[in-house]
Structure 1
Amino acid sequence: MNGELAHFALNADDVEATKRFYEEVFGWRFEPWGPPDFFHIETDAGTGPRGALQRRRELVPGTRTVGFECTVTVSDVDAVAKAAVAAGGRVVMARSTISGVGDLVFVADPSGNVVGAMRYDGSAE
């Protein structure tokens, strides 16, 4: 589906303490995946967007990413980037491909809120 919230990420300075917090507060479980300090979040519900816990990063250079980082499913990340700029936003991370996952771009709205747009493709290289 196009435009559906598909993924969120928690950015953490102390990944272990943050993982422990969500385990104890919400009963979430964490499975290591990909790079160091990156975990998929598993919940009992098993529905809704996929979640991840990762070491904090700066999608916007000089600005630490805080809060929940969300990614929306799209059919064309290049079209999203173009539309974001035309609508008064900007591209903060150019198109990149995650092997086995798909193409990803991050854009900021006119207020500076950052959102990811992912074209999922399990055969992406």
Structure 2
Amino acid sequence: MAAPLTHFALNADDVPAARTFYERVFGWTFTAWGPPGFYHIHTGTEEGPQVQGAMQQRRELIDGKPTVTPECTFAVDDVDATAHAVIAAGGRILLERFTIIGVGHLIFFEDPAGNAIGAIHYDPAGE
């Protein structure tokens, strides 16, 4: 079962400063979306390669460990089956299945190396 990288998130203590940095370094643009301080990152053009991105206030997906690396989310066919596979392979679920209305169903898990990883089943009709 292939699971392509479809989304990444950058966490920052100072979101405006981080936005300015990435605008200057990579030429990315940002659009406010969802909760305050959350932005979609536009990493390319419609014609060129682009991975969906987000910029957000720093958070702790793993208790006591501020997220200081990019969060990667992979597309899967079934988040429930993926959650079972994570547990069977020695990982643990950090965020139980959560539906983002109009986007899909998401989980976050910790792998045995301590990385927080997202898995999403895209379902625009999901509620």
Query: TM-score scaled by structure 1?
Result: 0.94
Aligned-pair identity in percent equals 56
Match of 1:33 in 2: 33
Provide structure 2 residue ranges, at least 5 long, that are not aligned to the other structure. Answer: none
Shift of 1:10: 0.2
> AA paired with 2:35?
P
Distance (Å, rounded) in 2 between the aligned partners of 1:121 and 1:2: 17
User: Aligned AA for 2:93?
Assistant: V
Q: Is the 8 A contact 1:72 1:117 kept in 2?
A: yes
User: Shift of the alpha carbon at 1:60?
Assistant: 1.2
TM-score by length of 2: 0.93
**What is the deviation of 1:13?**
0.7
User: Is there any run of 5+ residues in structure 1 with no aligned partner, and where?
Assistant: none
**How far does residue 43 in structure 1 lie from its aligned partner after superposition?**
2.6
Q: Equivalents in 1 of 2:35, 2:62: separation in Å?
A: 20
Aligned length: 125
Tell me the C-alpha RMSD between the 2 structures: 1.4
Q: After TM superposition, give the deviation of residue 74 of structure 1 in Å.
A: 0.5
